[in-house]
Structure 1
């Protein structure tokens, strides 16, 4: 599976959480955290600055912004303290991952057909609010799932689903690179389950030019 969100923006200088960029950052560089499954395409909007993207989980980004180690962050469903402001960048529909021969497979999936099934989902330790949005959203729609496995990335989720150990849940955007044979991604029947990704920054610094 390849990532369809390969960065082609010349304004972006890749960095690591340690702060060492792969090319020298200019005095106008912004250090911006990002969730790896979002990619870096947002940073091509930067006006007159160079962006140094730093891959981090959502809680890590918020902490780094509070401590002024980042100028901004781009993350899924952040929990925001009073010192941090945010703006919705986009909303993504949730998809249910099933083995192609799963008896619950339908387009769309009937939520009640997932009742009692083992679910593989992003851990609360990585993103509490996103985890809860997934699990609570399923249960509110009649899918009384059992949280049995944690999967931080799609490459951890896919083997669990293919083996029949669990069903999976993820954002539509994460599937941009495609799925392996034997796996399907379906929407839920009824009211869509949607999650947000947001640009976040310290209120006392103002919105970054992204």
Structure 2
């Protein structure tokens, strides 16, 4: 088995299209197909179901893919370790984040890492909610993720980097938009815009918890993963939303942030990573994060 065979397999598995995979690898399609056949012959299994219209991984291909990824991860770790012996920090760290909720935490970290370690590449993936972030960390798809707490039944390590109360995002023509503060129960008849419940969003869970504490279950009229789109739909009058107080600074002119009078419900922001991740560049990034995103006093 050759490394280039694995590279070809990963490209086809991710693209699920031989033409696009060949373009990505800068190969003709025929040599790529031959490489995949050699790999399948070497393994003694079929890795792809092919038809004239589609390409899909077989169960054997799905089982083989994480191991193929791991080979390249180990090669990258090897490169990093050779540079580390000379005192250099070199390599790639993959970071998952949600979007608007990280507008005060992601930028200072990425700026500090780039200034301190110019040879480090940050691979950023947006719209990663807490549950997906934890799963990606466990599977090795991410090195670091911005998540909401608490996280249950997971071996990933977390560190609190922020705590803020939630308030209401209302359109400017909402009857309560002009109030200095409101009680959450005043929104009991409104439709709510939230991240999808099935996605495991800490913000969605905080919204539900706050509403239940106030004595009602929110009527969800729209579920959407993009935090900026949540604010856009609020501006359009589709519904109301509960958001962290930091979002007040990025509201559009057609929406307002109104604090809640109730007992505060907090959103706890954290960084998460796998403790057994051997990447030296991840350790370097975590050290920078300790400086620019310290754990707040609670």
Partner of residue 90, structure 2 = 27
Equivalent residue in structure 2 for 1:52, among 117, 122, 145:
122
Give yes or no for contact 1:92–1:172 (8 Å, CA) kept in 2. Answer: yes
- Show the counterpart of 1:11: none
> Greater helix percent: which structure?
2
Tell me the CA shift for residue 143 of structure 1. Answer: 5.1
Residue 76 in structure 1 maps to residue 177 in structure 2 = no
Greater share of strand residues, 1 or 2?
1
Q: Which runs of 5+ in 1 are unaligned?
A: 1-16, 20-24
Relative to 1, partners in 2 of residues 1:34 and 1:138: Cα closer, same or farther, differing over 3 Å? same
Aligned to 2:218: 145
Structure-1-length-normalised TM-score: 0.73
Aligned residue for 1:125, secondary structure, equals helix
Query: Within the alignment, does 1:43 sit opposite 2:110 as a pair?
Result: yes
Question: Higher RCO, 1 or 2 (CA under 8 Å, sep at least 6)?
Answer: 1
**Partner residue of 2:237 out of 146, 149, 164:** 164
Report the counterpart of residue 188 of structure 2 in structure 1: 115
Query: Residues 51 and 142 (structure 1 numbering): CA distance in 2 closer, same or farther, change over 3 Å?
Result: farther
Contact 1:31–1:70 (8 Å) recurs in 2: yes
Q: In the alignment, what sits opposite 1:131?
A: 204
Query: Counterpart of 1:102?
Result: 174
Q: Is the 8 A contact 2:168 2:260 kept in 1?
A: yes
Deviation of the 1:78 alpha carbon: 6.1
**177, 180, 204: which one aligns with 2:250:** 177
Alignment root-mean-square deviation, CA:
3.0
2:138 paired with 1:66: yes
1:54 aligns to what SS in structure 2?
strand
Q: How many positions carry a matched residue from both structures?
A: 188
Query: By how many angstroms is 1:186 displaced?
Result: 0.5
Matched, 1:192 2:264: yes
| Structure number, greater radius of gyration | 2
2: CA distance, partners of 1:118 / 1:80: 29
